[in-house]
Amino acid sequence: MGCYLQMNGFDTEIFGMHSLPGGLCTAWKRQGYTFDGCIHWLMGSGPATNLHRMWRELHAVQGRRFVEWDEYLRARTSGGQTLTIYTDPDRLEQEMLRLAPEDGKLIRRFCQAIRSLSAADLPVATEKMGLFERLGYILPWIRLAPLLKTWSCMNVQTFCSRLKSRALAEALGALYGGEGSMPDFPVSGLIMMLGFMHKSCCGYPIGGSLEFARAIERRYRELGGRLRYNARVERILVEEDQAVGLVCAGQEHRAEEVISCADGHATLFDMLGGRYLSPAQRTAYEAGTCMISRWARCSRWKNRSCWRTGRSRSGAWACACSASTRPWRRKARPRRS
């Protein structure tokens, strides 16, 4: 975001709490080992996607070598059987059928969805698209709407429960739905990931997360951006319901626009004192366990798509539209909860 603001004539300064760039997209070393839990696959690593153009503008991929996967993962069941997750849907289909021929119908539907989504692309800067460019993007996704509806409302745990083969269910469950893993990860996300891997656009950048983040940091500095590390923001300054700056290390820093890319709870409750929350946002944060379940159409916000997050103790889902990841805009209107 900082790079694009600089490209468009803004004078920006970034305050980072960490001593390294990248936020969660980073790595560190301990006793000769490198800990990197982020970019084991990067959407847009290959030139066949719009995201690749964005990475090029940020100087993140020039001269960088990527490992494009033929085999993504392997799992061994308690019975000693092995499942290989191939990124080629034809090979994956054969592998899954070898292990679970009785699940042929569901396996073929799953692999066909990977083939279909591999032909689609994600947009970048839709607000800059002309009419025909927008239509060119929208029409393929309209054709994929039934497929997305089917797989977006199903998580990995549910998918595994529908398999007749316990061996296949155990193997997939160990990879994505096991204890400590992501049982609520939507199957559509898995399909999209494998679809991008199939067209060699979802690889691992040599050098890992930290080197990738440093490349963008260099680009930002070249564009004239200023960056402060070890700079924890204490609060966002608000005057007449408008964000006008921030406080860091006891000093005020004024700005025309303030954008928070920090954790949603820290932004809304700590930096803004909990004064600017909708009832839905407050419910989601007070619900206890909070996790991403699926991309769905929210019944309370009929014309908006949202992540349904925040499983309450009763098991009900609370909508947290725009709760945590959208930039905090200058105009902040308080809502009574």
Asked if residue 315 has pLDDT above 60, the reply is no
pLDDT in tens, 204-215: 999 899 999 999
Look at residue 63 and tell me whether its pLDDT is greater than 80: yes
pLDDT tier at 43, thresholds 50, 70, 90: very high
Is the Cβ–Cβ distance between 196 and 5 less than 8 Å? no
Rounded Cα distance between 12 and 223, Å, is: 10
- The winner for highest mean pLDDT among 15-19, 126-130, 179-183, 302-306 is 15-19
CB 50, CB 122: distance < 8 Å = yes
Give yes or no: residues 292 and 248 share one domain.
yes
Q: In terms of domains, do 82 and 179 share one? A: yes
- Return the higher-pLDDT residue of 287 and 81: 81
Distance of CA 109 to the CA centre of its chain: 25
Rounded Cα–Cα distance for residues 261 and 283 (Å): 21
In a domain, 194, yes or no: yes
Quote the tokens at residue 89. Answer: 């849907």
Q: Is 182 part of a structural domain of the chain?
A: yes
Let me know if residue 83 belongs to a domain: yes
Q: CB-based contacts of 265: which residues, under 8 Å, 6+ apart?
A: 285, 324
Number of domains into which the chain is organized:
2
pLDDT in tens, 216-266: 999 999 999 999 999 999 999 999 999 999 999 999 999 999 999 988 999
Range of the domain at 136: 69-199
Looking at the fold, whether 240 and 307 belong to one and the same domain comes out as: yes
Residue 137 lies in a domain: yes
The confidence score (pLDDT) of residue 91 equals 98
DSSP characters for 81-138? -EEEEESSHHHHHHHHHHH-GGGHHHHHHHHHHHHHHHT----S-GGG--HHHHHHHH
Q: What is the pLDDT of residue 253?
A: 97
Residue 176 and residue 256 share a domain: no
Q: How far is CA 314 from CA 164, 292, 296, 320, in A?
A: 30, 17, 20, 17
The answer on 254 and 155 residing in a single domain is no
Measured in degrees and rounded to the nearest 5, phi and psi for residue 97 equal -65, -35
Residue 181's pLDDT band (boundaries 50, 70, 90)?
low
User: Does any domain span residue 133?
Assistant: yes
Residue 205 lies in a domain: no
Same domain, 244 and 145: no
Bridge partner list, 140: none
Q: What is the rounded average pLDDT of the residues 43-49?
A: 92
Same domain, 193 and 232: no
Do 95 and 138 reside in the same domain of the chain?
Answer: yes
Task: Please state, rounded to an integer, the average pLDDT across all residues of the chain.
Answer: 82
Q: What does the pLDDT read at residue 251?
A: 96
Q: Is residue 306 part of a domain?
A: yes
Task: Verify that 248 and 148 share a domain, yes or no.
Answer: no
Percentage, residues of the chain above pLDDT 70? 82
Tell me, yes or no, if the pTM score tops 0.85. no
Confidence of residue 335 (pLDDT cuts 50, 70, 90): very low
* Residue in 325, 260, 219 with CA at minimum distance from that of residue 3: 219
Same domain assignment for residues 161 and 281:
no
Least confident window among 40-49, 263-272, 325-334: 325-334
